[in-house]
Every structure is written in C-alpha cells, then in structure tokens.
Amino acid sequence: MTRPRVVIAGLGDTGLLTAIHLSRHADVVGVSSKPELLSGQELGLRVSRPQVWARDHRIPFGRFRKLDGVRTIHGSVSAVDLGNRTVTVVDTGGAEMVERFDALVISTGVRNGFWRHPDVQSAAEIDAELRSVHRRFDSAGSIAVIGGGAAAVSAAANLAATWPDKRVDLYHPGDRALPRHHPRTWQNVHARLTRLGVGVHAGHRAAVPAGFACDEVTTGPVRWTTGQDTVEADAVLWAIGRVVPNTAWLPADLLDESGFIRVTPELRVPGHDLVYAIGDVAATDDLRSSARNRADRILAHNIRADLSGRSGRARRFAPPKRRWGSVLGAQPDGLQVFAANGRPFRFPAWTIDTILQPWIVRRGIYGGIRGKDTD
C-alpha cells in the first residue's frame, strides 16, 4: 500500500518536530531555506556568544536520527496549487521543481529582525552572518536595545553579561517590559537586569526611520515619539516586534487581514482538506503560540487521523493566555524558567549539559541527535 505524502513547507523548530512525528507514518518531504535547523530562539545568546548558541540551536538535518526517512529540499516554496495538490519549490540553484502532496503543512514562520528571515542561505553564509553581527557588538562601546518583548530583554541581559565593560541600555515603550508575560516575570527579570548594570528606560517608543525594516544593527541616534531626548549608541539592536508572516506565496483566501494563516483549533486551514498551519505563521490566537507550546504533537496526531479517515478523533490546540518559559536563556547560574503565573523555577547550571540538553531536549524532544562527526 502506498504511503501518503506529506509536504512540510518550513523546517524551523516546529516544522522539524512535526516532520519527526510523521516520519514513521508517511513519506515526508521537508522544504527549508536553510541546510540545517536554524532556530529563532535565544536572540541574546545568539548575538553575545554565537558559538555557545549554535551548539543547541543550529544543527544540520543529517544529525537528527528521526529525520533519516525524511527527504529534505534546500530551497523555498514559491507557489501552491491547492486544486492539483502541488507546491512549486525553487532550489538553491534557481531550478524549479513541483512536489505533489496528499497533506500540506505550512510552517514557514515570520520575518522578524535580522535573526529571522526566509532568505535561502548556505552554511557558509550563515557563518558569515553570525560572525558579522557578533563583531558589531564586540566593537561597540555603547549598545541600545529597542523593544519590550522577550527578544529585546534577552539581548540586553546577555550582552551586558558577556561585556560588563560596555554600556547597555534597554528602551521599552510601556510601563513594563514583557507585557505578554505575568507581571511577576518582569519583576524578577528587571531585578536581574539591574544587577547586570543594564539601564532600563520605560515609556520610550522609538521613531522608526521611514523605509527601515528593523532588520539590521544600526548606529545612533535614536529618536522617540514619546518626547525624550535623542539617544546615541555605537550599536542599536531593534527588536520592536515588526513581525511579517512568510505567506506571500499563498492564496489570499487562506490569510487573515494581517497575512497570517487562518486555522481551526485543530490547526486545519478552513475550506481546504488536509492543509494545515502551525507555528508563528498560524493565527491560532493573539500570541500565535502554537510554536512555543508543543502543538507539533497535536498536529501530527490530527494529520494521521485525517489521513486514515478518523477525523472525529482530532485534538484541539488550547493556547495559553500568557507567555511562559525561559526569558534570558542559560546563564552561568543555570536556566530560569517562568510558569504562566510568573513563578520561576531553575535548572541548576550543572544539569544543563548533563540532563537538560542530552536527555530532555536531544533525546526526549528530538528523538536522538548524532555527534558532529556525522555532519
């Protein structure tokens, strides 16, 4: 009996996990603009200590044991024909190929700053990009981080921890940063920023230069629509949440008014059988939280149910009301994780490399990752 073919457009964190869950049940084809998992998580660690960040957040696909049965295509999806159930893929050489699907998963993510973009890149180009950004901050005497979300807060904290001799300031528009988290989370993180010597400035809303996409590190001055004096800095990191979904290749009837993909609680795209969306590109809720709450397992279950004619057994994704999890990433004293109610708990530093990463993440979540000598 011929196995169904599932095409997964986008192999970021969530698309990759969905492929892993389906690999034993279908012929899975994954399309990725990168030749490896290049996570959008932990911006602070990425810009301050890129080699440490890469160990856990940049992993070639060939090292994932449960991707052995998955065919990966290095390229980008340029079009979809939902009637004929095909997608058009442009590979790294510019050649077009057409891939048939029985089920389609759209997990193409979003563009957000310089650290999350859909451009097709080689491993060498990714290397160069990481080095360039790191050198930019390494050579700066003063750094301004603009934004109030987790990416901005993480960047400010990790930059200050890595370079304690630099002046690092965080400017956020509200009364407090991390507005999507419980207030207790910000109280805890604010205290840590203070201990690190970060200048925290509330009520600062930046005037974004016309035509600027906030996708590069700039040099001051930074001006404010809220009336404060202009700020000068050698390096300015823009993390103001100008998120753009990677959906230009999709028909307009699949999208909401902001360009995100409309989905049901089962992560199905309404009106299109066996078409699904997950991750930051899917309009599941205001926080688009399926990427951070293990909805990949729910989606894989639902795809298997739909393909086998058991659609009534589908599960629903119930998004949390607040963001939770780590904010600053692994620090010298361990990894602090915040529950939805703002209560923190900590993984001691010694557990990160002995328990958390090798057993919980690499084996438990990903199903096993080979050593680097297999790249």
List CB contacts of 116: < 8 A, sequence separation 6 or more. 40, 109, 110
Mean pLDDT by 10 residues, the chain (375 residues): 92 96 96 96 95 94 96 97 97 95 97 93 96 97 97 97 98 96 96 97 95 90 96 96 94 96 97 96 91 90 96 91 91 93 94 94 94 64
Q: What is the pLDDT of residue 220?
A: 80
Q: Which domains does the chain have, with CATH numbers?
A: 5-122+243-360 (3.50.50.60), 135-238 (3.50.50.60)
CA atoms of 218 and 351, how far apart (whole Å): 37
Enumerate the β-bridge partners of residue 88.
79, 98
Please, are residues 314 and 144 in contact by the beta-carbon 8 Å criterion? no
Sign of CA dihedral 354, 360, 361, 367: positive
Give the phi and the psi of residue 305 in degrees, each rounded to 5. Answer: -65, -45
Q: What is the pLDDT of residue 1?
A: 62
Q: What is the pLDDT of residue 277?
A: 98
The sheet that has 167-171: what strands, in order across it? Answer: 199-201, 167-171, 142-146, 235-238
- pTM for the predicted model, two decimal places: 0.94
Give the CA-trace dihedral at 331, 333, 334, 338, to 10 degrees: -80
Sign of CA dihedral 226, 212, 141, 197: positive
CA distance readout (Å), 337 to 215, 341, 349, 353, 366: 28, 11, 13, 16, 20
List CB contacts of 91: < 8 A, sequence separation 6 or more. 73, 74, 75, 97
The token pair that represents 320 in the structure block:
């949390």
